[in-house]
Amino acid sequence: MSDPLSEIIALLRPRAPSSKLVDAAAPWRARRTEVGLVYYCLLLSGRARLEVDGKPPLDLKEGDFVLIPATQAYTMSSVDPAPLPGLESQRHMRNDGSVRLGHPEGPAGEQLLIGHCSFGSPDAGLLVSLLPDMIVVRGEKRLGDLAGLIRDEARADRPARDMVLEHLLQVLMIEALRSGADTEATPGLLRGLADDRLSSTLRAMHAAPGHLWSVADLAREAGLSRSAFFTRFNRIVGMPPMDYLQNWRITLAKHMLRTRQNSIAEIAEKVGYGSTSAFSVAFSRRVGQPPAHYARTAATAMQMPQDV
């Protein structure tokens, strides 16, 4: 059976991490305004408060892990004592690459491992929309071990470093997503895969994207009536079932066009369109250009030097 989560993470191609150890002495507050990056934080000791713009504050304790696939601006701060309003703590960089927040002397009340990375896929925005916008995992040691490996690898200069980091980041994200399935996950693929009725439907769509699915077919996979299935899917996954299916089909089509694995007619059939013209219309509506033009543009882009 298809594994939708692994497929999506592999297509996202996480890369270029920045990972650092942070010691903090309360009271402290750090504000970051980079948006669109993948953010993760493991609280190694103490307590801290995470405030992502537009979301309620989240209190973290030792062993808690947070993954945000596409960050908004956010603030991290101490809990006890809380910082005064408007405080912005100075960051003191150390020779070993770690960071000190708050008073530069004395013991640290909190220690955090914080990382950022980006997604290499041109379809990152579409793929991230299928994931929860925040995952919180409480006290899972495996995530701490993985985050530590990523930090060590990012700071080293070993052969095949980038390849190792990409695979470690994939494992970290999969582990965080599946560990967080029963926690505070927001609507998205993760909650759908954790739902006993919707899991089989999502796996069926990913296993056979070329099948001519209807809402009635998908409802039968879930063992629900059409109306009950539609309502449940929309509430748990965060979008109507046919929108999810079309998003996935177009994502697969773009990947195949970029890698030139098949002809346009073959791609149309593989992703569930009855004719090349129907595929071209659907693709153009979603992507803004016909498949043939997209393939030519992607081929040109691949020949250009890439930023490292």
pLDDT cut 70: percent of the chain above it: 94
The pLDDT, as a whole number, for residue 181 is: 61
pLDDT value of residue 183: 47
Between CA 229 and CA 197 the distance in angstroms is 9
Look up tokens 């030792």; give the residue: 62
User: Long-range contacts for 226-229 (Cβ within 8 Å, ≥24 apart)?
Assistant: 229/197, 229/201
Residues 6+ apart with CB under 8 A from 159: none
Degrees, nearest 5: CA angle 187-41-77: 100
Band of pLDDT at residue 308, cut at 50, 70 and 90: very low
Residue 207 has pLDDT above 90, yes or no: yes
Q: Is the pLDDT of residue 33 over 70?
A: yes
* CA–CA separation, 237 and 196 (whole Å): 13
All domains of the chain in start order, with CATH: 4-179 (2.60.120.280), 195-303 (1.10.10.60)
Helix (H, G, I), strand (E, B) or coil at 179: helix
Q: What is the DSSP-derived secondary structure letter of residue 221? A: H
The candidate with the shortest Cα–Cα distance to 80, out of 100, 60, 53, 105, is: 60
Is pLDDT above 70 for 303? no
Which of 99-108, 266-275, 285-294 is predicted with the least confidence, judged by mean pLDDT?
99-108
Confidence of residue 272 (pLDDT cuts 50, 70, 90): very high
Q: How many other C-beta atoms can be found within 10 angstroms of the C-beta atom of residue 239? A: 16
Q: What is the mean pLDDT of the chain?
A: 87
Query: What's the full length of the chain, in residues?
Result: 308
Q: What pLDDT shows up at residue 229?
A: 98
Q: What is the mean pLDDT of residues 4-26?
A: 87
Angle at 69 between CA 67 and CA 73, to 5 degrees: 90
Ranges assigned E (strand) in the chain: 14-25, 29-32, 38-45, 47-52, 58-61, 64-68, 74-77, 91-93, 99-102, 110-119, 135-138
Label the pairing between strands 110-119 and 38-45: antiparallel
Model confidence pLDDT, tens digit, residues 150-203:
888 887 878 888 888 888 888 988 888 877 665 455 678 888 888 999 999 999
Beta-carbon neighbour count of residue 208 at 10 Å? 12
pTM: 0.77
State the CB neighbour count (10 A cutoff) for residue 135: 25
Helix (H, G, I), strand (E, B) or coil at 33: coil
DSSP designation for 6: H
Q: What percent of the chain has pLDDT over 90?
A: 43
Q: What is the mean pLDDT of residues 228-232?
A: 97
The confidence score (pLDDT) of residue 116 equals 87
